[in-house]
Amino acid sequence: MSTDTTSAAMLDASAVAAVDSTGQAAEIVDLATHLRDALWRVDSAGVPPFDAPGGLIVAGMGGSAVGGRLALAALGGRLERPFVVADGYALPSWTGPQQLVLCSSYSGNTEETLAAYDDALERGAPRLVATTGGALAERARRDGVPVIPLPGGFQPRAAVGYGLVAALEAAALAGAAPPLRAEVEAAAALAETLAADWGPDGDESNEAKALARALHGTVPVVAGAELTAPVAYRWKCQINENAGLPAFSSTLPELDHNEVVGWPGSEGLGPFSAVFLEDAGVHPRNALRVELTAAEAHAGARVVERVAARGETPLERLVSLVLLGDLVSLYMAVLADVDPVDIAPIDRLKAALAAR
């Protein structure tokens, strides 16, 4: 598709429906409902408070781990105890009865998360589970472990609101952080407004559609700092899975000590784009770094975009960027004529692993 054709391509509801065979768009724009429903689901699980002096460990992979990463960023300096995300087969070596372990697997059959659950059991760590069912729910029922029941029928990555709230609530239950229920409600209200503005029924020049057109045909490198660092990773993952395209993420200030040197040499390698996610609450030096690093990226990047978060609270600002990135990835899928449900390489990998 040529640049001219792409810039003129419609990204309305009918264009999205033409590639979106399973209605992923509807799940993205319904983030506000997911956030509110997640609070109810935590309540319905009747999870008792845990006194976990060692804090919280969130064990999960992919779309089921992102909630933990986002929650950690939203809590930031309000954390009162440690909070760690474990994305692998084993928990940290120091895990024990002092830590609450939230095992998050949408399907309930993620092999790494099942191994982490068993590891927590062996180490005598109290557990909490968030899942739709599967082997993880069976283990929890066997052991009398509380389960936060997630709704079925989503792609795991589309359940980001549920994963975020489950991790926030688990942190509060473990005594690792104060409850953020009022902030969740405010973030849901903001997401509702932004979804109407940025969604397929929104104006063709809205921010999400404009960004997708700008990034189309490039390899995006998305950078964030502090609150926006895990959101940058979310953007990368969503572009990978929804649009079926390579994308990468980086974190400031670290990238200014290495990656920034590579931008001048990128021009001859391929069409790269640089996206910087900005937050009003960031450290002033990191705010300055975004400005200066974006200027350096112009040396080789075809496109350089600076994207500002919306909202008052840290959670509102985080949720606004998550929603925006999800919609950008959806529109990039439309421009690439890719069904966002298609994750054939992951399916092949899982089948090959299961056979060995």
User: pLDDT tens digit string along 126-177?
Assistant: 999 999 999 999 999 999 999 999 999 989 999 999 999 999 999 999 999 9
Percent above pLDDT 90 for the chain? 90
Give pLDDT, residue 342: 83
**Local confidence band at 6 (pLDDT 50, 70, 90 cut-offs):** low
Give pLDDT, residue 7: 58
**pLDDT at residue 324 is higher than 90:** yes
Give pLDDT, residue 32: 98
Q: Check: CATH 2.60.40.10 for 3-21+193-335?
A: no
* Token representation of residue 312: 């008052």
- Residue 114 CA, chain-centre distance (Å), reads 21
Tell me how far apart the alpha carbons of residues 348 and 40 are, in angstroms, rounded to a whole number.
36
With contact defined as beta carbons under 8 Å apart, do 151 and 162 qualify? yes
Give pLDDT, residue 1: 35
Active-site amino acid positions: 241, 257, 350
Residue 199, H or E segment: none
User: pLDDT tens digit string along 257-281?
Assistant: 999 999 999 988 989 999 999 999 9
Per-domain residue ranges of the chain: 3-21+193-335, 28-179
**Local confidence band at 8 (pLDDT 50, 70, 90 cut-offs):** low
Give pLDDT, residue 4: 44
Give pLDDT, residue 2: 36
User: pTM for this one?
Assistant: 0.95
Is-same-fold flag (3-21+193-335; 28-179)?
yes
CATH of region 28-179: 3.40.50.10490
* Token representation of residue 51: 């006194």
